[in-house]
Amino acid sequence: MTTARRDTYTPETLLTVAVEVFNERGYDGTSMEHLSKAAGISKSSIYHHVAGKEELLRRAVSRALDGLFGILDEAGAVRGRAIERVEYVTRRTVEVLVAELPYVTLLLRVRGNTRTERWALERRREFDHRVADLLGAAQAEGDLRADADIRLATRLLFGMVNSLVEWYRPHPGSGQDAEQVAEAVVALAFDGLRTAP
């Protein structure tokens, strides 16, 4: 006799549970035992779906990275002046972050102890560089302050955007929605909080 639920998981729904556990306990601190308990199915049932916890991590961070890199191919990111493109990418990054909150949260907490984690960190850096390049292009076109340090500005911009995973909680029917937050980020980063002179 067993208390385990019947395995009605797909790789996709199993991923939802795994990401929740990874975010709660940390990837390093999560064992197959923890995943098995959280999913309510046996470890062998999990192995039926995936090769192990690293595969679940790879699928999860891939989902976050695909969302982020997808932005860079959208029309708003490839046409127009660099300043418009970087504003578009910033706005969409906030939207993707909110839409894929648990997945991006996991991506941002990855530490680099395994090959998959190091790959995820490398891809994250690549995304940051793409945005830094856009900021640099906007500066070259004279639309960003000439005295702004682009590397530092990129870090501050992502510091602000990525902080959402710490405090943003969706409130259905009330509170800030993703679009409002995205607009606030863009307004603060590019125009500042001060009243226009």
Binding site for a copy of itself (CB under 8 A): 29, 83, 135, 142-146, 148-149, 152-153, 155-164, 166-167, 176, 180-181, 184-185, 187-197
State the greatest distance between any 2 C-alpha atoms of the chain, in Å, as a whole number.
74
User: What distance lies between CA 190 and its chain's CA centroid?
Assistant: 21
Distance (Å) of CA 169 to CA 21, 54, 58, 67, 102 = 18, 27, 25, 19, 11
Eight-class DSSP state of 192: -
Task: Decide: helix, strand or coil at residue 17.
Answer: helix
The token duo for 23 is 């975010």
Q: Which of residues 1 and 196 has its CB atom nearest to a copy of itself in the complex?
A: 196
CB of 78 to a copy of itself, least distance (A): 21
Q: Compute the least distance from the CB of residue 98 to a copy of itself, in Å.
A: 13
To a copy of itself, the closest distance from the beta carbon of 126 in angstroms equals 16
Contact in structure between 161 and 93 (CB atoms under 8 Å): yes
In the bound state with a copy of itself, the residue whose beta carbon lies nearer, of 172 and 197, is 197
Q: Which is nearer to a copy of itself, 5 or 125 (CB)?
A: 125
Q: Which is nearer to a copy of itself, 70 or 142 (CB)?
A: 142
15 versus 108: smaller Cβ distance to a copy of itself: 108
Enumerate residues 6+ apart whose C-beta is below 8 A from 105: 23, 165
* Nearest approach, Cβ of residue 72 and a copy of itself (Å): 19
Q: Report which residue type is found at 51.
A: A
- Report in angstroms how near the CB of residue 160 gets to a copy of itself at its nearest: 4
